């Protein structure tokens, strides 16, 4: 049992849950002091929505207003949080996650301003998720959390860190799917389909929608806002859409002429984006 929503339990949360609760409170309070909107996601929120994670994660996860995530990162580092590398071997795109650790906490903090594979503008994605948020209280601090449809999408997404391993046909997907069938009523399923379409995530979560007997909309192309934030560029170039489709669309899409030359040029821009993300 995660400690976020059972703080009055006489037994008290186990250490890892207590550490995650402490991180949740600290980050939520800091973000509120800056006026930065953040949304708690992850295992504790699963419990809130009648779901149980297949594992106890050492990570405390927040979705962050993409327009303000850098401001929050600066404030965290000023408070002593140390950034840790999230770049994976063979990963070409810049990390889509910012991770931090602080000695007095047992949990690693993960911040997400962009959700890989949700191809609508990340600012619009966050606004939509924020609009449907719920609020709970922990140690006297209001905690904004993602709602049930978003929780389901993120649980099925399974690569917030940018990894391509353990895709939707993995054991975790099967585990969650069995729960989704039990906790999602007809209105929940309708909301889930609408949310997947609104965030541009039909391709990313298509296996989930199909297994729940939902008909996915036609997938959208990556928006200019998505490309701009994902590649850390001011203005998308002609080949960037081929680059994103080839590297990040679920299932992959082979780049064909006339996109090959443009995508090659974008690879040069991508190297610059990775350097900027590493600073």
Residue 249 has pLDDT above 70, yes or no: yes
Q: What was the pLDDT predicted at 241?
A: 87
- Mean pLDDT score across all residues of the chain: 81
Using a pLDDT cut of 90, give the percent of the chain over it. Answer: 51
pLDDT in tens, 79-124: 999 999 876 545 677 888 999 999 888 889 999 999 999 999 999 9
In the chain, which residues fall in CATH 3.30.460? 3-165
Q: Which CATH number fits domain 3-165: 1.20.120, 3.30.460, 3.30.450, 3.40.50?
A: 3.30.460
Integer Cα distance of 56 and 233 in angstroms: 36
Residue 156 has pLDDT above 80, yes or no: yes
Extract the tokens encoding 220: 């959208």
Mean pLDDT for the stretch of residues 170-191: 88
What secondary structure does DSSP assign to 52-86, as a single string? --SS--SEEEEEE-TTTHHHHHHHHHHTTPEEE--
Q: Are 47 and 1 in contact (CB under 8 A)?
A: yes
For 4-8, 29-33, 74-78, 249-253, which range has the lowest pLDDT when averaged over its residues? 4-8
Q: What was the pLDDT predicted at 42?
A: 86
Q: pTM of the full predicted structure?
A: 0.83
DSSP element (H, E) containing 39: strand 38-41
């Amino acid at each position: 049992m995660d400690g976020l929503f059972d703080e009055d339990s006489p037994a008290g949360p186990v250490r890892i849950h207590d550490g995650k609760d402490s991180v949740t409170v600290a980050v939520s309070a800091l973000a509120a002091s800056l006026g930065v909107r953040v949304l708690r996601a992850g295992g504790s929120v699963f419990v809130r929505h009648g779901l149980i994670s297949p594992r106890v994660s050492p990570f405390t996860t927040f979705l962050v207003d993409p327009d303000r995530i850098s401001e929050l990162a600066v404030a965290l580092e000023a408070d002593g949080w140390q950034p840790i590398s999230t770049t994976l071997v063979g990963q070409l795109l810049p990390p889509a996650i910012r991770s931090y650790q602080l000695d007095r906490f047992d949990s690693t903090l993960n911040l997400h301003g962009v959700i890989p594979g949700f191809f609508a503008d990340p600012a619009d994605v966050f606004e939509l998720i924020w609009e449907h948020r719920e609020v709970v209280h922990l140690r006297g601090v209001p905690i904004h959390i993602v709602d049930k449809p978003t929780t389901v999408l993120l649980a099925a997404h399974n690569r917030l860190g940018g990894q391509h391993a353990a895709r939707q046909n993995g054991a975790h997907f099967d585990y969650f799917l069995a729960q989704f069938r039990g906790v999602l009523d007809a209105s929940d399923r309708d909301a889930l389909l609408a949310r997947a379409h609104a965030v541009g995530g039909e391709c990313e979560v298509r296996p989930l929608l199909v297994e729940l007997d939902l008909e996915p909309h036609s997938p959208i192309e990556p928006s200019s806002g998505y490309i701009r934030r994902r590649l850390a560029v001011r203005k998308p170039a002609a080949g960037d859409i081929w680059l994103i489709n080839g590297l990040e669309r679920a299932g992959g899409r082979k780049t064909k002429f006339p996109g090959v030359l443009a995508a090659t040029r974008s690879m040069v821009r991508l190297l610059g984006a990775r350097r900027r993300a590493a600073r």
